[in-house]
Amino acid sequence: MTRDVNNFPFIETNRLLLREIVKDDANDILKYLSDEEVMKYYGLAPFKTINEALNEISWYQSILNEQTGIRWGITLKGKDEVIGSCGFLNRVPEHYRTEIGYELSRDYWGHGIASEALEAVIRYGFKYLKLQRVEALVEPPNIPSQKLIEKNGFIREGLLRKYEFTCGKFDDLYMYSLLKQDFEKLQDSKLNM
């Protein structure tokens, strides 16, 4: 179910409320983005200050304002603490495509929360943003992320060699994609189980 709150799309799933991330969430953001394990494949060093968290929130706002992306805060129903985020970046509306990104506090790993958020955000993208293609760029050693997106129907298309320069090194990235028709087929098969 999706509804608008202050023009920001609010997404509700069985266990989650996905909402806009605001400055008041900076301490929550700092809590999980200062964790070395969470940040291992994020492309940034673990956060150390509240200003770094505020800058991250400013980036979420800038991609929304520029219409190049949108990032939702992941919260559990009945709790307002932001425990992660999921959303789109590098959106190219004329080609109906975007990238997806996500992270989750380590305290909540292994409970299907990231998968639930990912599916809801992807559904929103195909329905309301009229996307045809969602891409995910994943570092080869990041096996949990690969399993997450493969579970959600993404197909690995290839290896982008030395594609990004982050944290003082060049990183290879796998290119994954999910097409609208593949997502719809996957959703239909879940309904028929």
CATH number at residue 7: 3.40.630.30
72-93 confidence digits (pLDDT tens) = 999 999 999 999 999 999 999 9
pLDDT in tens, 151-172: 999 999 999 999 988 878 899 9
Contact 39, 145 (CB under 8 A): no
The alpha helices in 71-142, defined as continuous H runs, are 113-128
State the pLDDT at residue 43.
77
Q: So what's the pLDDT on residue 169?
A: 86
Spell out, as residue ranges, where the chain has pLDDT lower than 50. Answer: 1-5
pTM (2 d.p.): 0.92
Torsion of CA 93, 94, 97, 100, to 10 degrees: -30
Using CA of residue 172, residue 175, residue 148, residue 39, what is the dihedral sign? positive
Give Cα separations from 186 to 16, 51, 118, 136, 180 (angstroms).
Answer: 21, 41, 14, 17, 10
Instruction: Quote the tokens at residue 48.
Output: 């150390």
- Three-state DSSP class for residue 27: helix
Indicate the DSSP class of residue 17. E
Q: What pLDDT does 23 receive?
A: 96
Q: List the Cα angle 162/125/72 in 5-degree steps.
A: 80
Total domains present in the chain: 1
Q: What pLDDT is attached to residue 135?
A: 98
* pLDDT value of position 39: 82
Neighbour count for residue 62 (Cβ, 10 Å): 11
Domain range for 40 is 2-191
